[in-house]
Copies of this chain bind each other. A is one copy, B any other.
Amino acid sequence: MNKWRINNQELLEDESLLFTGNGYIGLRANFEEGYPQDYPSIRGAYINGFYETVTMEYGETAHGFVEEAQKMLNVLDPQTIRIVIDGEVFSLFEGELISLERRLDVEAGYALRKVDWISPGGHHLKFEIRRMASFDTLELFIIDYRVTSVDFAGEIEIRSTIEGDVVNYTNVHDPRVGARHAKLLYPLKSKVSGNIMSMQAVTEASKLKMAVHVTHDIDFYYVMEGQSIGGVYESRLSPGETLAFRKYVAFTDSLRHQDLEKTAEEILRRALALGSDHWYQAQRDYLEDFWDIARIQVRGEAGVEEAVNYATYQLLASAGKDVYSNVSAKGLSGEGYEGHYFWDTEIYMIPFFTLTRPRIAKNLMKFRHETLEYAKEDARAMGHPVGAKIPWRTIIGKECSGYFPAGAAQYHINADVAYTFIQYYLYTGDLQFIMDYGFEVLLETARLWILIGHFDPEDRFMIDTVTGPDEYTALVNNNYYTNAMAQYHLHHTYHFSRLITRNSPDVWEVLSHRLGVFDGELREMQRASESMFLPYSDALKISLQDDHFIYKKPWDFAGTPRDKYPLVLNFHPMIIYRHKVLKQADTILAHFLLDNETDEVIENSYRYYEALTTHDSSLSACVHGIMASRIRDPEKAYAYFKESLYLDLKNTHGNTRDGLHIANSGGVYMGIVYGFGGLRIKSDGLHLRPVKPGVWESLGFSLLYRGARLRITLGESLRVETDKPVEIFICNRKYTIEDVLEVADYENC
């Protein structure tokens, strides 16, 4: 008999990898029945955008330092279901575990755990537990629980609870996890009303409330005990018999729901009335629609297609679908980075949605518009008299960065947000969205470039003392990425102003008046864009990461043992900043996003910076893969793609336990579409420049482009199918495709 051993480390990773989420709620894949005392499980249930306000302290503070931050909360826990048979409590850590199977079904939209177990007393039972967060009704979470007796005859008791004594996970040794503020949510009241039990909780500072309501489709009776409320069901089980029930859970919160109780009760009554089959079907329907465009096909290497689609599913399961939320760095799978939203959303996640599910993309972009007042406040608090500063990390839109050299100094996020709007417009032609939301965001954020930059005596526009994407080089002058992205940002701000003026002069009149923008300001933006200084080395023929990077002391890579990585956990930031070493793609990322240099400069830069990059950031491998495709180095592209593909699945960064790296999930998708597919969205339209890894037979993906549904397959030849005529560029050559286009020898175009 194959006796399973439980690996603590893997269990923790699986809690993230198999989490159940729908963008509103996320539940880590914890065992319903619990763990032994002090077992290092991170039990977590999260509501996107539900936060507490916590104070920030500093060894020494300075003007404009963030004084309050938001923190995502681990909310009331409805996961617990305990099974007692003849006095024995079901636990994977006692008795004999014959087999344990766990998986996430991305077609059906649930996580499954199958357990074959013999109790310490020798009773043999099988369990099948499905967990689903409904995409149809975002508040709804269902645990479908089946326990089958193989040889047991006797009493069975089920205790299904809501636990109120919840804390946030903290780790004082890892700056990527919150170090303080464990206890932030306090139960307010518990209640039993008919067959529904519920608990409400509140935070101290933000005063937000949330509630968990639970019902079951068999008759439980309910008891309250301390900070726990539980349903109890008692019965008998005989060999061969299965006891099956559903735990229906409704999450509500005071950000979104006027009446937490009423809304939840309605949801639960409807859930119960329709029954679980309905919800399984609704979930499948939703995902069928999703996969219709989102699905990636990879032929020729086992497991890759599955892993890619796993990644895109996590994007869907993590992305906020209302105005109160966005996508946190870890999605809803863990507490790393305290549930904050970063520029990851714009640069790594939104592209997937723009191409496949534009409604979600628009919602994520609208979040920045919705929170623009906070971004203006933040700029003022620092001492910037005008403009808006998009926060480096946030939940409600106010800056939460507690270490500005690698946080608030990343002004580039202003341009990153603008970039997403611009790309969305170029892809969809949706000027209305720009007029309604985009232009205001672009303008307010562009104002900061004019404020922090300046024209030098040679009339070049210079931007000093910022941090680019790379966090191992902080507070630098003329960061190439920042300057190049600001150039794009400033240019399109001006360009949009002209476009709106031409297309909708009346809209422009209202808009420009409301935003207090005059022609002089816009022309100054265009002039800054045209005069933007992009540091370049004649000798090396590379774009220079910043004014000084190449002159720094070389890092002693040979003398740095493996356990000294990531460097950020082993060296004072200043020591890192002093050296010629990179954490992640920076100039290379700019070349990817803007495709604004010659092939020679792009390739030289790639070779130069890649050799100095530790990839200590999870944002790095995917971009290096994409750009390896760009410089026609498919082996390297494939290697980086695999690194990115298995970053969480194989826990290569060692912290998957704290949550999935959702930006990297987006990077996996981009590795296929932007990398191997060579997709770029430019002012003249959609470009492809494909290159397929040699080991694969074929590779396929779909796009929704200007009303057409495109299916692109890279096999022997390149095949583009469309249901409507479209124009696209392949290797810079424009094609008008009526239905199907086949291009042979497409990699040498």
Contacts and interface: CB of A to CB of B under 8 A. Distances in A.
Contacts of A571: 63-64, 382-383
Contacts of A568: 62-63
A189 interface: no
User: How many copies are assembled?
Assistant: 2
A474 to B, nearest CB: 7
Given A453-B553, A475-B474, A548-B477, A61 B175 contact: yes
A405 interface: yes
Interface in A46-69: 56-66, 69
Contacts of A175: 60-62
A454 B59 contact: no
A572 B57 contact: no
A715 interface: no
Contacts of A575: 64, 382-384, 452
Contact of A574 (B465, B554, B578): B465
A508 to B, nearest CB: 31
Nearest to A572: B64
B553 A464 contact: yes
Interface residues of A, number: 53
Interface stretch (A8-16, A396-404, A433-441, A667-675): A396-404
Contact of A407 (B60, B402, B551): B60
B60 A57 contact: no
Contacts of A384: 575
Chain A interface mostly: loop
B383 A572 contact: yes
A571 B381 CA distance: 8
A179 interface: yes
B180 A57 contact: yes
Contacts of A383: 570-572, 575
A409 interface: yes
B574 A61 contact: no
A141 interface: no
A57 B548 CA distance: 32
B403 A62 contact: yes
Nearest to A457: B551
Interface in A566-594: 568-575, 577-578
A408 interface: yes
A401 B454 CA distance: 33
A464 B63 contact: no
A63 B475 contact: no
A405 B467 CA distance: 14
A411 to B, nearest CB: 9
A575 to B, nearest CB: 5
Nearest to A559: B385
Most buried by B among A58, A60, A383, A405: A60
A58 B55 CA distance: 10
A462 interface: yes
Nearest to A393: B60
Nearest to A62: B573
A465 B578 contact: yes
Contacts of A475: 405, 474-475, 574, 577
Contacts of A64: 571-573, 575
Nearest to A452: B578
A58 B403 contact: yes
A456 interface: yes
Contacts of A595: none
A179 to B, nearest CB: 7
20 contacts: A58-B58, A58-B403, A59-B69, A59-B402, A59-B403, A60-B403, A61-B175, A62-B403, A62-B573, A63-B572, A63-B573, A64-B573, A382-B571, A383-B570, A404-B573, A464-B553, A465-B574, A465-B578, A475-B577, A477-B551
| 7 smallest beta-carbon distances between A and B, as pairs | A59-B402, A64-B572, A383-B571, A382-B572, A60-B402, A60-B403, A465-B578
Given A59-B65, A59-B66, 20 more contacts: A56-B59, A57-B57, A58-B59, A58-B402, A59-B69, A59-B401, A59-B402, A60-B402, A60-B407, A62-B175, A62-B572, A65-B572, A382-B575, A383-B572, A404-B572, A454-B554, A456-B551, A465-B574, A477-B548, A547-B548
